[in-house]
Amino acid sequence: MRDKKSSKALYILYITVLLVFFYLPIVVMMVFSFNSSKSLTNMTGFSLRWYSRLISDGSIMRAVYVSLTIAIFSTIVSVILGTITAIGLSRSRRVMKEVLLNINNLPIMNPDIVTAIGLMILFSSIMMTKGYVTMLLAHIAFCTPYVITSVYPKVRQLDPALADAAMDLGATPFEALVKVIIPMLRDGIYAGILLAFTMSFDDFVISYFVTGNGVENISITVYNMTKRTNPTINALSTIVILVIAILLIVSKLLPSMFKATIKRIMAVALVLLIGFTTFAGIKSNGRSLRVYIAGEYIDPALVESFEKKYDCDVILETFDSNETMYTKLMSGSEYDILVISDYMIERLIKEKQLQPVDWDNITNKDSIDPSNMGYPFDPDNTYSVPYFVGTVGILYDKNEVAEEDLSEGWELLRNPKYAGDIYMYDSERDSFMIALKALGYSMNTTNKEEITEAYNWLIDQRESMDVVYVGDDVMDNMISGNKSIAVVYSGDGAYIMAENEDLGYFDPEEGTNEWCDAMVMTKDCLDTELAESFMDYMLDYDVVYQNSVFVGYTTPVTEAREVLKEEEFDGINSYTPVFGAPNNEQFRYQDEELRAFYSDLWTKVKAY
């Protein structure tokens, strides 16, 4: 009896731990969706501000429409194709059947990134404009194999004589299919519907590479929102979870009313399509500007204001890194304006992917700080108009890090006193920059012995300091005080310090990466007048002020920067780092061999 009670208690404990492990993070996320502050970890009070912002954010609402319509249409088409294919396979010869089933398994087993790149290249090679249609076709392509996998086992269970018997009784082949075969495959088809809809609605990787022209689903929108601390993600996720929970409850009733449900789904799909094309849909025949920029790197209100001022459409698309931008650009995606980093600008100049800017059309050019012009990647600013500038430095807790230790510069990151208390930024070039500067070398060195020495510096740091490599989550972690030291971009440092007054920032005297993100025009830009108007608009005092407050990064416009320093960023020294310091550099172009050498060493650092 005791053994049975013990076993039952262990079973209950196991189930409890399992439920807590799976659902506690969801509960925490839902609770923080009502947090009054921006923090994702520190609850300061109840508020509906993030739900209000979610509803008023047009980009998010458009993403919801895209996700729903894409998921519904791809589900309907893939279920039809998958069911017909499964039935056809059951009547095929054994060799043909096995070959087709193995082919069907390939996209299921393929990594998403491989499928994504393949589809992206396919659409580019046939000169198909990326957007809603390409995303829909891609979703149909990867959902159909899952439907076949769900329906085929049910087909195998059918008696092959059923269809013949139905036709012997007077049914046409189509009637035999619709009234006899399909009803008996109902459970498999229903499973295929749920699987296809879920796969489509959740997809990020494939959607990210096959879309364009500003068409984004929820997954892409949420991913871009994670580039900055944005609690709207919690509100959106909470709503999605509640909707899924309701659908799961309703789905319990679905099998008993399967036919009616299919009709309802098709009706809803039609309504949503009309709503999508009306609300978000097809751009007008007027002027349009395709802008490719990092996620959360421009205030959406400014884009709307520009559209009204110039009576045009701005098709805003976002990327997560310069390298992702380059991949899509080289695959055939077309844009008018890119907002990218210094070293990537130099690369595109060398590869003749950009066209010169007519500075006579940039009326606000005199407002730019001269120290933020003439960088080595574009000495005469022939191709680039500065957008945001800054440095990479060290953020530290003034209560935990001794003032005298700051004189160590980058070697502070190897001070045993702070072992286990350091965040490194998860960036290959910036990590090697730190090591090279600490060793007294140029961060643009091509000397492989110096690079190898820097690699050993990073390996030693990982071994002795137990550092954690992080991305943009460093912001909320440092606001919450999870560690005492972090390597950050100065703009992120300004945002963090505005939320946590116990933090300080400095650029080591050995020098650092003094970066510049700039606006450039691609060689494919046709409306250069509108593109240059956008560049000029983004240098206007009021626009610069609003955009810098929204993003948190340092503007190259002198007057706005000085006012922001005294107002929004008062007491935050990382907003105005020292530009033009003797040992500061900008990243330069690397050839393929050097990039491969760095990449190989970086892989070893991360895997250590």
Whether the CB-CB separation of 491 and 553 falls below 8 Å is answered with yes
Q: What percent of the chain stands above pLDDT 70?
A: 89
pLDDT at 65: 86
Per-residue pLDDT for 277 more than 60?
Answer: no
Per-residue pLDDT for 28 more than 90?
Answer: no
pLDDT in tens, 566-600: 999 988 989 988 888 889 999 998 888 999 999 99
pLDDT at 174: 72
For residue 373 the two structure tokens come to 């012009």
pLDDT at 443: 95
Whether the CB-CB separation of 593 and 521 falls below 8 Å is answered with no
For residue 504 the two structure tokens come to 């300080």
pLDDT at 41: 63
Whether the CB-CB separation of 485 and 465 falls below 8 Å is answered with no
Q: Which of 477, 514, 482 is nearest to 496 (CA)?
A: 477
Task: Give the C-alpha separation, 541 to 560, whole Å.
Answer: 6
Per-residue pLDDT for 48 more than 90?
Answer: no
| Least reliable range by pLDDT among 49-58, 102-111, 379-388, 511-520 | 49-58
pLDDT at 256: 53
The residue ranges of DSSP E strands in 257-353, in sequence order, are: 287-294, 312-319, 337-341
Identity of the amino acid at 253:
L
Q: Which of 553, 47, 344 is nearest to 561 (CA)?
A: 553
* Average pLDDT over the chain, rounded to an integer: 85
Would you put residue 372 in left (φ > 0), alpha (ψ -120 to 50) or beta? Answer: alpha
Higher pLDDT, 232 or 196: 196
Task: Give the C-alpha separation, 331 to 317, whole Å.
Answer: 15
Q: Which of 311, 345, 318 is nearest to 333 (CA)?
A: 318
Beta bridge partners of 210: none
Whether the CB-CB separation of 199 and 191 falls below 8 Å is answered with no
User: Which pTM was predicted?
Assistant: 0.77
pLDDT in tens, 282-329: 444 468 899 999 888 999 889 999 999 999 989 888 888 898 899 888
Higher pLDDT, 172 or 220: 220
Q: Mean per-residue pLDDT for 60-82?
A: 89
Distance of CA 314 to the CA centre of its chain: 20
Higher pLDDT, 125 or 349: 349
Q: Mean per-residue pLDDT for 98-127?
A: 85
Task: Give the C-alpha separation, 317 to 295, whole Å.
Answer: 8
Distances from the Cα of 589 to the Cα of 159, 488, 519, angstroms: 66, 22, 18
pLDDT at 95: 79
Distance of CA 586 to the CA centre of its chain: 25
Instruction: Print burial letters for 9-31: b (CB count within 10 Å at least 16), e (below 16).
Output: eeeeeeeeeeeeeeeeeeeebbe
pLDDT at 230: 67
Per-residue pLDDT for 158 more than 80?
Answer: no
Q: What percent of the chain stands above pLDDT 90?
A: 46
Per-residue pLDDT for 281 more than 60?
Answer: no
pLDDT at 4: 63
pLDDT in tens, 439-498: 999 999 999 999 999 999 999 999 999 999 988 788 888 988 889 999 999 999 998 998
